[in-house]
Amino acid sequence: MCGIAGIVDFDGRPVARARVARMCELLRHRGPDGQGIYLNRDGMAGRNGPRVGLGHRRLKIVDLSDSARQPMTNPDGSLWLTYNGEIYNHVTLREMLVAKGYRFASAGDAEVVLHAYEAWGERCVDRFDGMWALAVWDAREQSLFLSRDRLGIKPLYYLANGDELLFASEIKALIAVTPARRDVDFGSVARYLFDGKTDRGADTFFAAVKALPAGHSMRVSREGRRRVFRYWDLARAAGRTDRFERTGVSMDEAAPARLRSLLDDAVRTHLFADVPVGACLSGGIDSSAIVGLASKHHSVLKTFTATFPGYACDEQLYAAQVGRACGVEAYWVRPGAQDFMALLPRMIYHQDEPCQAYGMFGQWQVMAHAARKVKVVLDGQGGDELFGGYLHYFPHYLKTLAEDSSVDRNRRLAVRSRIADCFGRTAARPFAANANGAFAARTAILSDDLKACLTYHDDSGAKPFDDHLTNVLFHAVTRDSLPSLLRCEDRMSMAHSVEARVPFLDHRLVAFGFALPYDLKISGEVTKVVLRQAMRGIVPDGICNRKDKLGFEAPLAIWLRNELAGPVKAILLSDRLKNRNLIQRQLLQQKLADHCAQAADHTWEIWRWLSLEIWFREFIDQPIRATDQGGRPWH
């Protein structure tokens, strides 16, 4: 795991080493173990052509020797690679490449990526199992190749600046060397305040900065022409997955065994490292499954858990139950309100953009603690989106039942009643699209100027699957939920120089999950049906049978009424926020007052206002400054 950066000048002007070094310095936290820079002197064999500068910050995980340093070149110097990620099948790929005549000087996966590109070109990524963001400068073609992994686990951004193209693992590295391109994308700001969504496609909160979408690559020609193309499609991959039609075994019988096999293999490969590996443990079935399977392949696994004693979201008892069953070495961290405001500017700085969920506070504390013991952690991210783990999926499940002609009315009513008994009437409420009144209520907080920037429309999007619930989960994975969660996962771990790995997002497992019928995900009042069945005997029954879903969140609603009320009001009622003319101040004041008086719960809106204002202060109001791991003067 590392940080990558680069500049290509298509007009042939030399790239200044100082600019690449500046980009690398801003990514130091992603790779504190070393830095490398490559600058080409000319095009190729003396020909005129683009000039390139590649940078790399190294976090040593596999092959700790200098032979694995980057940027890395092939024997004739025609290809240069800077790469961030882990290719879990690199040993198999190495054997294939050796059989084709390639020779290796290192034992890591970076050289495998380099020779894979040399052997198979831009389609080499089809053969990778893992997570990556990579850049290859091809001096033969005078072109740049960029690629991001199938699910977008690793980040990659780019910025076109006149005759040059810049790319980096984090946005701050781009705008620090192009300060004139820090213009705000107010459409993204309006959408965020409207519904809290972030990381939807290529747009970012900076008008000039784009994200390379998950499952996409980009080829940039010697003239600077960009071609962005999709190399992996989830719906198509799910359609090619074995549905057991030819096995003679029913889906209900075969699916749990197949899922268990796929997840076990993913966990096993994700444990590979030349440094200590641990796991995050929340007490839910996703992280418990990871820990349970990892403990089969790892002698004594270290686990890290955030606890909130005295609050409803505390899962310490469940995490402790898993820890005892699996024989782990457990570590506990107790995030408190006193730390929240002090750490918030740092967390937003590392996020680069406002954040969708305030659960990042617990993640920050967990990763900070984990960094003292390990350099790699496994996490359960993705399980909820694959198998329908959140309670807000129940209305979509009920809509799916209503559209399924094989389900009679009495069964639908019985299911709705059971869901209501377990989780309340909200979870059992029939699904309905946003009404005009709801739209008006959600836009009321926006200033008139910002309302003009909101280009909101019905974006239910493509429907590649046969049922409504699976289509909802598809959009959760590709657009609505997972992309934001993965940005948070990456930034909170890399801020502490820890590599986070997510076995549930092994692309084979993801495709398999989407090939399953909807009632193996949610059935009646039970979520994640197939995962619960698959984990019997691996995860304690007390975890497999849980029906509550607490989520990884701090008790922010309560803190905002008590310890944080004063500091938060000082920020949200400040002249700085008022003068931005983004939010209707009177309505903001009223909602703050209602929340503090317990007349309503506006936690998520308050979080959005707070996250956005801190982002403006960190990225727009002042120049980007380099950071070490704790030495930056936060304000």
Looking at residue 128, which CATH number applies to its domain? 3.60.20.10
**Low-confidence residues of the chain, pLDDT below 50?**
44-46, 245-248, 628-635
Report how far apart the first and last C-alpha atoms of the chain are (Å, whole number).
Answer: 29
Give the pTM.
Answer: 0.95
Q: Are residues 131 and 260 in the same domain?
A: no
Q: Cα 358 from chain centroid?
A: 14
pLDDT at 554: 78
HSE, side-chain direction, 13 A CA sphere, residue 346: 22
Q: Are residues 108 and 245 in the same domain?
A: no
Is there a domain that residue 599 lies in? no
pLDDT at 283: 87
Is there a domain that residue 611 lies in? no
Question: What is the full DSSP assignment across 52-112?
Answer: EEEEEEE---S--SGGG-SSEE-TTS-EEEEEEEEETTHHHHHHHHHHTT---S-SSSHHH
pLDDT in tens, 71-93: 999 999 999 999 999 999 999 99
d(CA 77, CA 500): 32
Q: Are residues 214 and 254 in the same domain?
A: no
Contacts of 417 (CB under 8 A, 6+ apart): 428
pLDDT in tens, 501-557: 999 999 999 999 999 999 999 999 999 999 999 999 999 999 999 877 655 567 999
Answer whether 277's CB lies under 8 Å from 298's CB: yes
Looking at residue 260, which CATH number applies to its domain? 3.40.50.620
Is there a domain that residue 591 lies in? no
d(CA 254, CA 444): 51
Give the residue numbers spanning the domain of 373.
Answer: 236-307+315-333+365-389+487-544
d(CA 570, CA 588): 13
Q: Are residues 263 and 217 in the same domain?
A: no
d(CA 502, CA 385): 13
Q: Are residues 197 and 54 in the same domain?
A: yes
Is there a domain that residue 354 lies in? no
Nearest by Cα to 17 from 177, 170, 208: 177
Q: Which residue has the tokens 């977008």?
A: 152
Answer whether 186's CB lies under 8 Å from 453's CB: yes
Q: Are residues 134 and 201 in the same domain?
A: yes
Q: Are residues 62 and 198 in the same domain?
A: yes
Is there a domain that residue 48 lies in? yes
Q: Are residues 138 and 257 in the same domain?
A: no
Is there a domain that residue 418 lies in? no
pLDDT at 425: 79
In DSSP terms, 51 is beta-bridged to 9
Is there a domain that residue 250 lies in? yes
Is there a domain that residue 451 lies in? no
Which one of 208, 232, 256 terminates a domain?
A: 232
Answer whether 520's CB lies under 8 Å from 251's CB: yes
d(CA 606, CA 342): 17
Total domains present in the chain: 2
Answer whether 479's CB lies under 8 Å from 461's CB: yes
pLDDT at 457: 60
% pLDDT > 90, the chain = 85
Task: Phi first, then psi: give them for residue 550, nearest 5 degrees.
Answer: -85, -30
pLDDT at 628: 47
Residue 420: its H or E element:
helix 409-423
Q: Are residues 269 and 194 in the same domain?
A: no
Q: Are residues 251 and 221 in the same domain?
A: no
